[in-house]
Structure 1
Amino acid sequence: MSNGVYSIAVEPLTAAAFAPFGDVIEASNAARHFSINGGNTERYHDLANIEVDAGARPIISIFRGQPRALPLTLTMLERHPHGSQAFMPLQGRPYLVAVAPAGEHVALSDIRVFLARGDQGVNYSAGTWHHPLLALDGVSDFLVVDRAGEGPNCDEMDLPLPVLITL
């Protein structure tokens, strides 16, 4: 921390590093996969745990994110307490993922920032704190799977200090 700003290093996105926050969605050899459609298609199966509470349903949307410039300062996080939220990039561009563990309070030292490759998606577990979409390198579309249902499902929290992200 210097000059009232907390700095966080960016780390590569891996399934093991991201496990406390949810799932990494990728067609890797670590995923269960098998041939279908007469051998013309490889299915990478059951890559994320989609969560929705009672009375809700999963939906699919496309989010179009404007590119963020680095260095980037974060001042808030959000969470969805009643369902998971998955993002899969559609243009193959890298993006940033800023997360913190579920809970009522977040310490700045608990925030982690990952650089996701353009072929990796993420699925935030219900209640996981995260920053809204952080597209890089151009306007980027993401396929999003999340919850539709009654009542609010987005809590926001201001961070006690700005968080600076540089690559």
Structure 2
Amino acid sequence: MSPAVPPGKALPVVLPVPITPENFVRWGQVVRLPDVDPNAVQVNQGTAQKFSHLAEFVNLRPALTDTANPNPSLTPATANIAIFKCHQPVATAQFEIKLLERHPYSSQMFMPMGGDGNGRYVVVTAENGEDDKPVLSTLQAFRCDSSVGINYKPNVWHHPMIVVEKPVQFMTITHESGVALEDCEEYWFTQESGEQGGAAAAIQLHA
């Protein structure tokens, strides 16, 4: 973790960069139509193309139907296909980071519904430290539009989705068991910010 931000001192500011498959690879995959895919196949009587294996859908817990549970200490998990309706775009120039979360045993995919590229959002990630907490100094931010989705690897620290300019609806897929800390762990930057519920960094969203 990083040291606390002294009272009255300006927050460290992170500038988002345009997301690419290459700069996001340590955190997961960018889900989009490939520019070139030699494995694409014609389907639906030749009226469509199928692009397969665009992301790694990972479940590190046993499936609910697995009778030979390899890890009985973990509750079985099933895939939850849900919709996140992110209806409050951020209008301020900066967005304060007060917490990060991770899903220890599951990947998590966010795919914008519509895909016209007009709904923009920002993804924020951070490394895990030796103390098993996010490292504030490693915060990264990525600019995305609604023509692409993202898929987090299991155990990646990230901020809940930040939408800008207009609301965006996302289809999400996550393996969940109903056990809160196994499904989603939160870390609040109370120590780093020096106050309960305080911000430890800011993301620059607008000039």
Deviates further, 23-32 or 39-48: 23-32
- In the other structure, the counterpart of 1:87 is 110
Give the Cα–Cα distance (whole angstroms) in 2 for the partners of residues 119 and 127 of structure 1. Answer: 25
Matched, 1:20 2:58: no
Aligned length: 167
Among all aligned residue pairs of Structure 1 and Structure 2, give the percentage whose two residues are the same amino acid. Answer: 28
TM-score, normalization by structure 2 = 0.74
Q: String of CA shifts for 1:29-81, please: whole Å, max 9, x gaps.
A: 25542221122111121111111221211121100012122321111100011
Which of these residues, 149, 153, 163, is aligned with residue 135 of structure 1?
163
Larger CA Rg, structure 1 vs 2: 2
Which of these residues, 34, 45, 48, is aligned with residue 52 of structure 2?
45
Deviates further, 27-36 or 124-133: 27-36
Ranges in structure 2 where 5+ consecutive residues have no aligned partner: 63-75, 194-199
Which of these residues, 26, 29, 42, is aligned with residue 35 of structure 1?
42
Deviation at 1:107, TM superposition (A): 2.0
- The question of whether the paired residues in 1 share the 8 Å contact of 2:126 and 2:140 is answered with yes
Deviation at 1:144, TM superposition (A): 0.3
Deviation at 1:115, TM superposition (A): 0.3
- The question of whether the paired residues in 1 share the 8 Å contact of 2:14 and 2:141 is answered with yes
Q: RMSD over aligned Cα, in angstroms?
A: 1.9
Matched, 1:110 2:138: yes
Specify which structure has the higher proportion of strand.
1
- The question of whether the paired residues in 2 share the 8 Å contact of 1:20 and 1:101 is answered with no
Give the Cα–Cα distance (whole angstroms) in 1 for the partners of residues 176 and 17 of structure 2. Answer: 32
- In the other structure, the counterpart of 1:68 is 90
Residue identity opposite 1:15 in structure 2: P
Deviation at 1:101, TM superposition (A): 2.8
Ranges in structure 1 where 5+ consecutive residues have no aligned partner: none
Residue identity opposite 2:185 in structure 1: D
Give the Cα–Cα distance (whole angstroms) in 2 for the partners of residues 73 and 102 of structure 1. Answer: 20
Tell me the secondary structure at the aligned position of residue 39 of structure 1.
coil
Matched, 1:11 2:17: yes
Deviation at 1:109, TM superposition (A): 2.2
Matched, 1:156 2:163: no
Q: 1:150 to 1:73 in 2, by over 3 A?
A: closer
Give the Cα–Cα distance (whole angstroms) in 2 for the partners of residues 150 and 114 of structure 1. Answer: 30
